[in-house]
């Protein structure tokens, strides 16, 4: 009857892993493709008369248009003491614009079956928009209004503040959320990435209408904007619509500089006590930026260790052989100003120590010995073979291309990416395993009542 199916396998956790800190980490695992779709898919760069550039993939097979866009900015730009502004603003974008109050705006959206939502990460504010072809122009008008003339009415601000505070109260008791937030706080202490992405009750209380307006006018601009459109529309039709939505924005965003940072902590293990039967752990280490020559080998390595969830070493050791967890996985994500190898596992309090010991051992072991030839071949065939699965819907194509663009990859990356994976050698993977895992133990946060954690490192 009425239940979402309990999913057997842990893949979703890879996404939830480091929810706040690594919102985009999920996208990294999406970095993965097959060439066949790429060959069939033509990416056009469309420049509007008003100076807005978009990537466009035409797909006239179904009467839908999907748009994804990103403003480089994100909650790293939240003013000090007012953490949570970016998260606040993305919750306000359908709360009235132009002459339309919140309720009028939302009823209008429903009347034309338009889908619009916004989200924030550390480094960007995202927009997602979908419309049926038949309602295209009306939907574009409404999107333009939301982006160009948000109202931030006082009553809507207070209502959303109430929801944000309730959400924070809930998150404070959610072991996954707490473990992720604590990991960021520990590994990025003193840096904007170390702050709670959605703020704290105290900071959210302090956020006023002016803070929202300032953030909006600083962030919603043209020079930090990337737009991807996929669906039932051609370039000439799209151009004026791009101007209608984005053309009126300021030419330049006003962003404060964010320092480069490397995850670091002198204390490698932090426990937050919570009365739950199962301990939830997050672990992580510095990784490599996209421009590093070892980035792709590191990406393949992550697949072997914990990213190719159901065939990874950690899955095998922790779940398949010992039944210690429902889910264990890792991800590798370059942020704009850092890069992280991060993972998560959840095991009953009595045995979490064993799960973490196994994970540490596997990282050491692969640093010392590298993977087997078979593991390397399997990871490469998974990564290249599954690439096409990322491109089987308009929405997925749009998400994927926007991500590549944010990573400063060109449209041609779609065509060259599988060759880059195929070219990875055993020597490269061994080298990068040493670079990532040899020097230091992972930084770990645990939420729960873990038993039997040792005070000092075990052997090794």
Q: Which of 61, 210, 251, 291 binds other proteins (CB under 8 A)?
A: 61
**Looking only at residues 189 through 218 of this chain, which bind other proteins when binding is defined by CB under 8 A?**
none
User: Quick check: 452 binds other proteins (CB under 8 A)?
Assistant: no
Q: Under the criterion CB under 8 A, does residue 357 sit at the interface with other proteins? A: no
**Burial of 124 by CB count in 10 Å (0-12 exposed, 13-18 middle, 19+ buried)?**
buried
Two tokens, residue 308:
């190719």
Cα gap 83→296, rounded to integer Å: 34
Rounded CA-CA distance 15/18 in Å is 7
Q: Is 324 in the site for other proteins (CB under 8 A)?
A: yes
By CB under 8 A, the residues from 285 to 314 that bind other proteins are 308, 310-311
Q: Is 153 exposed, middle or buried (0-12, 13-18, 19+ CB in 10 A)?
A: middle
Residues 102-131 that bind other proteins (CB under 8 A): 102-103, 106-107, 110-111, 113, 115, 117-119, 126-128, 130
92 binds other proteins (CB under 8 A): yes
Asked if residue 153 binds other proteins (CB under 8 A), the reply is no
Does 5 help bind other proteins (rule: CB under 8 A)?
yes
Nearer of residues 41 and 54 to other proteins, judged by Cβ? 41
Q: How far is the CB of 345 from other proteins (least distance, A)?
A: 10
391 touching other proteins, by CB under 8 A: yes
CB-nearer residue toward other proteins: 166 or 259: 166
Site residue total, other proteins (CB under 8 A): 124
**Is position 382 an interface residue for other proteins (rule: CB under 8 A)?**
yes
Residues 367 and 433 sit within 8 Å (Cβ to Cβ): yes
Q: Edge-to-edge strands of the sheet including 64-72?
A: 44-47, 53-58, 225-231, 64-72, 124-132, 115-120
Report yes or no: 306 and 329 within 8 Å, Cβ to Cβ.
yes
Q: Does 251 participate in binding other proteins (rule CB under 8 A)?
A: no
Asked if residue 279 lies in contact with residue 324, where contact means CB atoms within 8 angstroms, the answer is no
**What is the spatial distance between Cα 312 and Cα 146, in angstroms, rounded to a whole number?**
44
Residue 259 C-beta: closest distance to other proteins, Å? 25
User: Binder to other proteins among 75, 91, 184, 333 (CB under 8 A)?
Assistant: 91
Binding of residue 64 to other proteins (CB under 8 A) = yes
């Amino acid at each position: 009857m009425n239940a979402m199916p309990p999913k057997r396998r842990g893949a979703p956790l890879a996404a939830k892993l480091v929810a706040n800190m690594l919102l985009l980490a999920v996208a990294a695992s999406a970095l993965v493709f097959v060439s066949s779709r790429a060959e069939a898919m033509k990416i056009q760069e469309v420049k509007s008369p008003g100076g807005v550039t978009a990537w466009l993939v035409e797909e006239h097979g179904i009467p839908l248009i999907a748009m994804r866009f990103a403003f480089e900015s994100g909650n790293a730009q939240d003013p000090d003491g007012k953490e949570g502004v970016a998260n606040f603003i993305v919750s306000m974008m359908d709360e009235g614009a132009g002459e339309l109050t919140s309720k009028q705006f939302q009823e209008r959206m429903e009347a034309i079956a338009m889908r619009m939502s916004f989200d924030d990460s550390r480094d960007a504010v995202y927009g997602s928009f979908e419309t049926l072809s038949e309602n295209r122009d009306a939907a574009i008008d409404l999107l333009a209004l939301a982006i160009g003339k948000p109202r931030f009415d006082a009553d809507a601000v207070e209502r959303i503040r109430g929801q944000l505070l309730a959400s924070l109260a809930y998150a404070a008791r959610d072991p996954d959320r707490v473990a992720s937030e604590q990991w960021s706080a520990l590994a990025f202490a003193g840096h904007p990435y170390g702050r709670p992405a959605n703020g704290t009750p105290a900071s959210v209380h302090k956020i006023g209408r002016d803070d929202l307006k300032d953030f909006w006018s600083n962030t919603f601009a043209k020079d930090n904007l990337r737009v991807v459109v996929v669906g039932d529309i051609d370039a000439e039709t799209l151009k004026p619509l791009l101007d209608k939505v984005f053309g009126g924005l300021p030419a330049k965003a006003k962003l404060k500089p964010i320092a480069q940072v490397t995850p670091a902590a002198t204390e490698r293990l932090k426990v937050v006590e919570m009365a739950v039967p199962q301990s939830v752990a997050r672990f992580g280490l510095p990784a490599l930026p996209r421009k590093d020559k070892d980035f792709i080998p590191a990406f393949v390595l992550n697949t072997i260790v914990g990213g190719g969830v159901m065939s990874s070493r950690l899955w095998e050791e922790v779940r398949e052989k010992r039944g210690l967890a429902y889910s264990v996985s890792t991800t590798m994500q370059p942020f704009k100003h850092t890069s992280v190898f991060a993972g998560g596992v959840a095991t009953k309090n009595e045995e979490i120590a064993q799960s973490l010991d196994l994970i540490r051992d596997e990282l050491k072991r692969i640093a010392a010995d590298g993977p087997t030839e078979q593991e390397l071949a399997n990871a490469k065939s998974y990564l290249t073979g599954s690439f096409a699965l990322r491109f089987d819907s308009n929405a997925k194509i749009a998400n994927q291309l926007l991500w590549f663009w944010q990573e400063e990859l060109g449209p041609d990356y779609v065509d060259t990416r599988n060759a880059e994976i195929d070219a990875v050698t055993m020597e490269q993977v061994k080298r990068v395993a040493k670079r990532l895992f040899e020097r230091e133990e992972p930084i770990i946060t645990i939420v729960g009542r873990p038993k039997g954690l040792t005070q000092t490192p075990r052997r090794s």
